[in-house]
Structure 1
Amino acid sequence: MTSQPCSGICTNLQGTYNCSCPGGYQGDGRKDGKGCTLIIHEKRFHSTDVALGVSISLMLILLGGSWLYWGLRQRKISRQREKFFLENGGRLMLQRLLSEHEGSVESVRIFTDEELKKATDHYHESRILGQGGQGTVYRGILPNNMVVAIKKAKILDRSQVETFINELIILSQINHRNVVKLIGCCFETEVPLLVYEFVTNGTLSDRIHNCRHESTLSWRACLRIAGETAVALSYLHNDVSTQILHRDIKSTNILLDENYTAKVSDFGTSRLVPLDRMQLTTLVQGTLGYLDPEYFYTSQLTERSNVYSFGVVLAELLTGLRALSFERAENDRNLSLYFASAIKGERLFEIIDPRVLNEGNPEEIKEVAMLASRCLRAKGEDRPAMKEVAMELEGLMRLMERHPWVNQSCDLEEAEYLLGERSSKCDGILKSNASKNDDSISNQVPFEIGSGR
């Protein structure tokens, strides 16, 4: 009996035999030949399975880790937002609004950080409308395509937080067509943000002092804007539950909408004054050139301090000059002093803006100038109340509406043709109408004095 010649499968044939390898092996199957060896690709196949299993396991671990990281990060962001909300006075503000001014918070929308980032394209520099002492104002577009102005306090300037809270509390109580409207706020960020209606035509200062806009405001429009501003201030002084003193009235804080309607803005430094208090002792705040000298020296804030600042705005409208300019002679740098000196020296028409001289008549201009002069008196008690100022400006506007030809012709040769006499008769007409102003004012109020929106 011969030994088995095959190392694998041996198949007997007639007179011979055949060697082969079982499945999964390769070779000739002979002991004296190559024999049978495991097929290499089968081994690789098993190695690939192991590698694939390891890869899937690692992916699952990474995915789970990512979800865990994302969850922890969102939790951290949420805690950080809550921290900012508390640091920025959000809870204090809400509690104060709810307790002291029930219902006022309903009209103020609370925005999220993400909403305002999206609205401003992550506060891109191309969205900046302006920058000032209290922060930066951005142009934003909400999902409903409403355009808004978003004011962001200065980073790391925590003192601005109180200013923003103060403005929020005050504006949440005001509903007047000549006061900029507060839409909402956000306290989830490192610095607080306030959201206002977007006012399209910039500031009154731009229109008075920027040469590109020199001809866009007529004298009539200037007088109307002054009247609307006076009405807004009169409303704040007399027609709200707690008197509001603005403290920073100036031409840059009077905005103009698409119809050039005046909108008083920037109430960050304003103060609420209880009805039983005639004056308030405060840290002096305001803008040089507009600041009431009596308030500056005594720190006693009254509504007549606003009247002084408004008088400076009237002087700006009349002269086209800035409230404070180092380009003028040293004694003339302060417009209020320069204006008072011109009136005292009977040089008023030498400093009036030529455009105003061309469009208004001398008596009308003089009457506005005298009103401004009274607002700029050194002692607050000698100044008129803002309601009186609003009524006087209303009377002038009514006079212009009744006799537009007087405004255009009293200082021209055409007056002789229109009146049949020398232009001195214009003065008589003006005086006659001026004597009727009291009745006109008491019966009709075109500026809606004291009314809300």
Structure 2
Amino acid sequence: MEVKVKQLQLHLMLMAELALALVVAVAAGEATSSVAAATKVQSLPGCNSTCGDVTNIPYPFGIGNSSSKPDQPCYLEHKFRLHCNDSKLYFGNVPVLAIAIEGQMDVMLDISSKCYRKNGSNYWSNPWLYTASFSISSTENKFLTVGCDSYGYLNSVYEEHTYTTGCLTRCYGNRIMSITKNGTCSGLGCCQVNIPPRMRNITVEASGFPNSTESLGTCTYSFVVKQGSYNFSTTDLQGFPHTEFPLVLDWTVGNKGCNASKSGTDYACKNNSLCVDEDIDYGYRCTCMSGYEGNPYHPDGCIDIDECKRPGHTCIDENHCRNINGSYQCFCPKGQSGDGTEKRGCHKQEVLTKVIIGAGAGLIILLVGIASMYLLYQKRKLMKLKEKFFRENGGFILQQKLHAREDSSQTAKIFTEDELKKATNNYDESLIIGRGGYGIVFKGILPDKRIVAIKKSKIVDKSQIDQFINEVVVLSQIIHRNVVKLLGCCLETEVPLLVYEYVSNGTLHDFIHNGGKEENVTWKTRLRIAAEAAGALSYLHSDAFVPIIHRDVKGANILLDDTYRAKVSDFGASKLVPLDQADIATMVQGTLGYLDPEYMQSQQLTEKSDVYSFGVVLVELLTGEKPISFDRPEEKRSLAMHFLSCLKEDRMFDVVQAGIMNEENKQEIKEVAVLAAKCLRLRGEERPSMKEVAIELEGLRLMEKHPWTSREQDLEETRYLLHEEASNIYYECGDNSSLQNTGYDTSRDHVPLVALHGGR
């Protein structure tokens, strides 16, 4: 009974294996047939792929529009548009013989001929072929001239220049019939030359020597021909039997190389294909990756090749071959060892080998399990650390405040640490665009392709988190064309990260001092930058939701975009001013050379502190010098003091940077100098407000735009104002005018001297 049961079980197992093999075979057959069908697809759905003798027109070429989608052309670009007339395929007005997906197209072109008649009635024809995007193949074609005492030219127009090649023939009487072999083209009766690369828009010219006495033929024939399509015969000298010949065009897609095209929406290389532009002077070509076949330009891309169904694989046979995308694998059936290749084959597996393999597999599984548990532990630990930092940095408070905002369109985003790591390639040092006393700034690219500046600050006081959160909320509400926009922050790190809009053209400090650009000596550009920066600071002081004192106004914190528009940035030292307070007691912070002397002495921060710093920026724009430079003599070390001294002595033009002043802007420069002197007054209450400064600078710009406004009303009055302002400020400083007595010594312990040359 037991024997019968075992036999029945054995029969059932065999039947199951046979059924499974049958299913696999059917599936494989269906897959093979579907792949074979797919590889034949060259044109778009609904497009005619046949015209006369041309039976397979591959996309990107096409005729007309798709029948299934009438608005969709059957071709990629207009240059690939074909026409089918009377069962003949045309490229423009040139007949097409064949198109290869590898980048070549065979067409027919008329020959050029010129014949001389005894009665003087000569006639000739010079064919042309306009192929702006395609070139005449230099490897598949030859240029030939057939005739006695004849010559021919092949002209090409490339990048508005004409290039020419050609050859000439001689005959030496009727002896050529005996000394020249048919099938050779060596210069006697027939000459040929190679086609140079990059020849487009060609014309063919045939001609003969006018004083020739040869009687063997009176015509000259020149033509471009596909190699192997013409064999010279001496009888052709007496009567040429051909009117046209096939030639080969090299075609490409696009008009730029691979790197420049890959980011575009019209990139032509589809799935499983590669872009090739080596030895290509115009555009690029697409080719299927190894292990794939088909049309790389077709929307479906290249199709995987089933190497197991084709000869050439290295497996024992098809049954020991497994197809995978782009390749194949050889294997041995269960219970056998080996790799299934013809070289090593398959062998029965020994028990010891099974034990070793099983033990090895078990050990690997154990190690993988331990590693997975460790990674899971580290991941949970990291998540808890991120939650801790998020909580300590006020993330929940910030979320509540942002959700409470009515205008959600201007709400700052809270980024995750992973988002910013990915945007900066894990904070790659090559993406650093700035370093300062308050942190490092990285360039980053968000998933939506926006380019941003990510500020990684140094350690902050945890007791100031509430103020930091409030500042993030307020700064995210600032919408001004000349203020760098705060897009959001990340609170999952020990120190919060700030995300700003990216401004691409460097800083005003670089613009003034590093040179290299023509615009950096243009007064009109400098005046516009000054007016825009002043307008931004005026907005922060007077029009923002909560007044903001920047506290570190300097050239390095005024960024410039591609059009040299000013963008005030870096609010790391900024302070929000409560509406009921005019000044704030705070530890002195800023940059040496720009610091307000009154602020250094009193440690009382007011809006007029920004006015003083902006005055130094105006002096920088006028002089092109750095605010503090130990390379200058001691009396000129402080730019502000040296500038005021020159104004007092009526030597203002001695310090104005060479090249920016002319007769047209001389008066403007004087007025800006007066304004800078007002901003540099020692007592803050006597300085103008930023709004007044912005109005005056904008007024100067408007006067420049309206020539009917008198700019030279009273030069003597301006000179008097310059002298008066400088004298008041210079004497006002008195014994305190030196760098050592501006309050610097008494505040030494409170001022972070993060830079001596105006940068952080």
| Aligned mates of 2:491, 2:352 — CA distance in 1 | 57
| Aligned mates of 1:87, 1:275 — CA distance in 2 | 28
| Aligned mates of 1:236, 1:362 — CA distance in 2 | 31
2:378 match: 73
The alpha-carbon distance between structure 1 residues 55 and 361, as it changes in their structure 2 partners (threshold 3 A), is closer
% same residue: 53
Q: Is structure 2 residue 511 aligned with structure 1 residue 198?
A: no
| Aligned mates of 1:158, 1:388 — CA distance in 2 | 35
The one-letter amino acid paired with 2:417 is D
Kindly state the Cα deviation for residue 49 of structure 1 after the two structures are TM-superposed. Answer: 4.8
1:336 match: 640
| Aligned mates of 2:624, 2:667 — CA distance in 1 | 19
Name the Cα RMSD after superposition.
2.8
Deviations along 1:153-205, one digit per CA (max 9) or x if unpaired, are 23xx3449869757634422311111001122222234322111110110011
2:602 match: 298
CA contact (8 A) 1:208 1:214 kept: no
Deviations along 1:412-431, one digit per CA (max 9) or x if unpaired, are xxxxxxxxxxxxxx446999
Kindly state the Cα deviation for residue 84 of structure 1 after the two structures are TM-superposed. Answer: 2.7
CA contact (8 A) 2:615 2:676 kept: yes
| Aligned mates of 1:348, 1:226 — CA distance in 2 | 19
1:420 match: none
| Aligned mates of 1:66, 1:96 — CA distance in 2 | 42
CA contact (8 A) 1:164 1:192 kept: no
| Aligned mates of 1:73, 1:322 — CA distance in 2 | 50
Q: Is structure 2 residue 448 aligned with structure 1 residue 144?
A: yes
Kindly state the Cα deviation for residue 401 of structure 1 after the two structures are TM-superposed. Answer: 0.7
| Aligned mates of 1:88, 1:259 — CA distance in 2 | 37
1:287 match: 591
Kindly state the Cα deviation for residue 123 of structure 1 after the two structures are TM-superposed. Answer: 1.5
The alpha-carbon distance between structure 1 residues 108 and 430, as it changes in their structure 2 partners (threshold 3 A), is farther
| Aligned mates of 2:664, 2:704 — CA distance in 1 | 10
Kindly state the Cα deviation for residue 151 of structure 1 after the two structures are TM-superposed. Answer: 1.2
| Aligned mates of 1:262, 1:343 — CA distance in 2 | 28
Deviations along 1:398-419, one digit per CA (max 9) or x if unpaired, are 1111129988xxxxxxxxxxxx
Out of 626, 629, 644, the residue aligned to residue 322 of structure 1 is: 626
Q: Is structure 2 residue 689 aligned with structure 1 residue 385?
A: yes
The one-letter amino acid paired with 1:242 is V
Q: Secondary structure at the match of 1:277?
A: coil
CA contact (8 A) 2:402 2:411 kept: no
Kindly state the Cα deviation for residue 356 of structure 1 after the two structures are TM-superposed. Answer: 2.2
Q: Secondary structure at the match of 1:357?
A: coil
| Aligned mates of 1:357, 1:275 — CA distance in 2 | 43
The one-letter amino acid paired with 1:70 is L
| Aligned mates of 1:315, 1:286 — CA distance in 2 | 18
1:352 match: 656
Between 393-402 and 163-172, report the one with greater CA deviation.
Answer: 163-172
Out of 360, 363, 366, the residue aligned to residue 61 of structure 1 is: 366
| Aligned mates of 1:106, 1:282 — CA distance in 2 | 30
Kindly state the Cα deviation for residue 97 of structure 1 after the two structures are TM-superposed. Answer: 5.6
Q: Is structure 2 residue 546 aligned with structure 1 residue 242?
A: yes
1:268 match: 572
The one-letter amino acid paired with 1:123 is Y
| Aligned mates of 1:317, 1:244 — CA distance in 2 | 24
Kindly state the Cα deviation for residue 75 of structure 1 after the two structures are TM-superposed. Answer: 0.5
| Aligned mates of 1:374, 1:358 — CA distance in 2 | 24
CA contact (8 A) 1:167 1:266 kept: no
1:180 match: 484
Out of 358, 380, 401, the residue aligned to residue 705 of structure 2 is: 401
Deviations along 1:134-153, one digit per CA (max 9) or x if unpaired, are 11111112222221111112
Deviations along 1:25-48, one digit per CA (max 9) or x if unpaired, are xxxxxxxxxxxxxxxxxxx95555
Determine which structure has the larger helix proportion and give its number: 1
The one-letter amino acid paired with 2:486 is L
What TM-score, normalized to structure 1?
A: 0.74
Determine which structure has the larger strand proportion and give its number: 2
| Aligned mates of 1:428, 1:378 — CA distance in 2 | 28
Instruction: State the structure with bigger RCO (CA 8 A, min sep 6), 1 or 2.
Output: 1
Kindly state the Cα deviation for residue 86 of structure 1 after the two structures are TM-superposed. Answer: 3.3
Between 193-202 and 118-127, report the one with greater CA deviation.
Answer: 118-127
The one-letter amino acid paired with 2:605 is L
The one-letter amino acid paired with 1:341 is S
| Aligned mates of 1:215, 1:335 — CA distance in 2 | 23
Q: Is structure 2 residue 621 aligned with structure 1 residue 313?
A: no
Kindly state the Cα deviation for residue 218 of structure 1 after the two structures are TM-superposed. Answer: 1.5
CA contact (8 A) 1:164 1:268 kept: no
Out of 389, 395, 400, the residue aligned to residue 90 of structure 1 is: 395
| Aligned mates of 2:474, 2:610 — CA distance in 1 | 16
| Aligned mates of 2:378, 2:688 — CA distance in 1 | 60
CA contact (8 A) 1:90 1:187 kept: yes
Between 339-348 and 66-75, report the one with greater CA deviation.
Answer: 66-75
Between 101-110 and 207-216, report the one with greater CA deviation.
Answer: 101-110
CA contact (8 A) 2:414 2:490 kept: yes
Kindly state the Cα deviation for residue 327 of structure 1 after the two structures are TM-superposed. Answer: 1.8
The alpha-carbon distance between structure 1 residues 364 and 158, as it changes in their structure 2 partners (threshold 3 A), is closer
The alpha-carbon distance between structure 1 residues 49 and 215, as it changes in their structure 2 partners (threshold 3 A), is closer
| Aligned mates of 1:390, 1:158 — CA distance in 2 | 33
| Aligned mates of 2:589, 2:500 — CA distance in 1 | 23
| Aligned mates of 1:180, 1:377 — CA distance in 2 | 29
The alpha-carbon distance between structure 1 residues 48 and 325, as it changes in their structure 2 partners (threshold 3 A), is closer
| Aligned mates of 2:622, 2:351 — CA distance in 1 | 94
1:121 match: 425
| Aligned mates of 1:332, 1:104 — CA distance in 2 | 52
Q: Secondary structure at the match of 2:582?
A: coil
CA contact (8 A) 1:180 1:197 kept: yes
Between 330-339 and 288-297, report the one with greater CA deviation.
Answer: 330-339
The alpha-carbon distance between structure 1 residues 331 and 133, as it changes in their structure 2 partners (threshold 3 A), is same
What TM-score, normalized to structure 2?
A: 0.45
The one-letter amino acid paired with 2:390 is F
CA contact (8 A) 1:282 1:301 kept: yes
Kindly state the Cα deviation for residue 61 of structure 1 after the two structures are TM-superposed. Answer: 3.3
Gaps of 5+ in 2: 1-348, 718-760
Q: Secondary structure at the match of 1:212?
A: coil
CA contact (8 A) 1:311 1:376 kept: yes
| Aligned mates of 2:354, 2:556 — CA distance in 1 | 74
| Aligned mates of 1:310, 1:104 — CA distance in 2 | 34
Q: Secondary structure at the match of 2:600?
A: helix
The alpha-carbon distance between structure 1 residues 244 and 267, as it changes in their structure 2 partners (threshold 3 A), is same
Deviations along 1:305-358, one digit per CA (max 9) or x if unpaired, are 111111111111111111111122212211221111111111111111122223
The alpha-carbon distance between structure 1 residues 430 and 345, as it changes in their structure 2 partners (threshold 3 A), is closer
| Aligned mates of 2:700, 2:379 — CA distance in 1 | 61
| Aligned mates of 1:333, 1:57 — CA distance in 2 | 76
The alpha-carbon distance between structure 1 residues 189 and 359, as it changes in their structure 2 partners (threshold 3 A), is farther
Q: Secondary structure at the match of 2:479?
A: coil
CA contact (8 A) 1:166 1:270 kept: no
